[in-house]
Amino acid sequence: MTDEYCREPWDAAALTARKSHQMAFPEGIASEIQEWIERQPDVVDDEVEQGDVVGMKELSQLARRVRTELTEGTGVARVQSPGDVDDLFLRRYYLAFGVLLGNPLGNYGRLYDVKDRGGDYTKTAIPISQTRAATGLHTDSSALDVLPDLVGLICIRPARSGGASRISCALRAHQRLAEENSESLSVLQQPHLRDIVTPGADRSQRLRNQFPVFGDQSGRGVTCRYMRFWIEKGYESAGVEPPDGLTTSLDALDGYLEEEGAVADFRLQRGEMLWVDNCTTLHDRTGYEDDPDAPRLLLRQWVKYVGSE
């Protein structure tokens, strides 16, 4: 496989130094969203289309800047909060944004509530996004045929404590493995079983649900699909012995992803958006404690680039 990178690998300092990945909220967008709400007071989230939102010039311009940063820059974009607006405004702003970036996926409903539903992902097959556990660095979706190009999050309410976002560059980890541990890298380039929690999977899909941690998705050069728990669980559920060296290789990968200076961390404030390229950036959040009267709520979107299906 190719070892070409579609972007410069980054560490936390390089990401912070790249000012263009953090954007202010242009004031003009507020009236565009407000006007849309007045024009269409009720919308079905999954039915919002380009045609509903293309007239929003300022928002379209911001979406173009975000998209450029995601495709040609670091693969990470953060947009500051619009300030004092209500939840309806934030939902519509975020919905419009997803449509302007590409085709939002509807596997979990277009806007998916990331909140603690009291479950334990280690005991039942549920996404970690439905718990308040720390997740570990990962990319989204463990199903072979469901691969969002972009993962977005908007913060509706931060947690009382904890719940910080952490992100790390998969290409940097790949580079470090290539430099120091090519044996582990080659294990990670082989297909591995993944457990499936994305709704709608049957048994035969489960058995063919395997793909490498480092591959070359859509001819983009090095890409990454990784969540350690679902790999280990995938072998366990299938009753298949994991290949030699798998645990050592996953340890090596985790070591490089978590290496000093590799992880950028920050806490999303209400109204703040984060978008990442799901094939080159891994994300994580720390465990958190809720205020029972105002529990943490983030809305997630999965987006495919137009033409990449």
CB 216 → Fe ion: shortest distance, Å?
Answer: 22
Cβ nearer to Fe ion, comparing 140 with 272: 140
Instruction: Specify the residue, 140 or 290, whose C-beta has the smaller distance to Fe ion.
Output: 140
Give residues in contact with Fe ion (CB under 5 A).
Answer: 140
Give me the least distance between CB of 111 and Fe ion, in Å please: 15
- Toward Fe ion, which CB reaches closer, 56 or 167? 167
Cβ distance 217 to 241 under 8 Å?
no
SS (H, E, C) 38-64: HHCCCCCHHHCCHHHHCCCHHHHHHHH
Nearer to Fe ion, 140 or 195 (CB): 140
Smallest gap, in angstroms, from Cβ of residue 174 to Fe ion? 20
Residue closer to Fe ion by CB (options 140, 149) is 140
> Closest residue to Fe ion, Cβ-based?
140
Closest CB 138 distance from Fe ion, rounded Å: 6
Q: How far is the CB of 37 from Fe ion (least distance, A)?
A: 29
Distance (Å, whole) CA 185 – CA 283: 20
Within the chain, strands assigned E span 22-23, 76-79, 103-104, 112-114, 150-157, 161-162, 165-169, 191-193, 210-212, 214-215, 223-224, 264-266, 273-277, 281-285, 288-289, 297-304
Using a CB cutoff of 8 Å and minimum separation of 24, what contacts does 204-207 make? 205/143, 205/144, 206/237, 206/238, 207/238
